[in-house]
Amino acid sequence: DQQVKQNSPSLSVQEGRISILNCDYTNSMFDYFLWYKKYPAEGPTFLISISSIKDKNEDGRFTVFLNKSAKHLSLHIVPSQPGDSAVYFCAATANSGNTPLVFGKGTRLSVIA
Site residues for other proteins per CB under 8 A: 4, 9, 32, 34, 36, 41-46, 49, 89, 93, 96-98, 100-106
Q: Which is nearer to other proteins, 28 or 39 (CB)?
A: 39
Whichever of 67 and 95 has its CB closer to other proteins, that residue is 95
For residues 41 and 113, which CB has a smaller minimum distance to other proteins in the complex?
Answer: 41
Q: What is the DSSP string of the chain?
A: --SEE---SEEEEETTS-EEEEEEE--TT--EEEEEEE-TTS--EEEEEEETT-SEEEETTEEEEEETTTTEEEEEESS--GGG-EEEEEEEESSSSSPPPEE---EEEEEE-
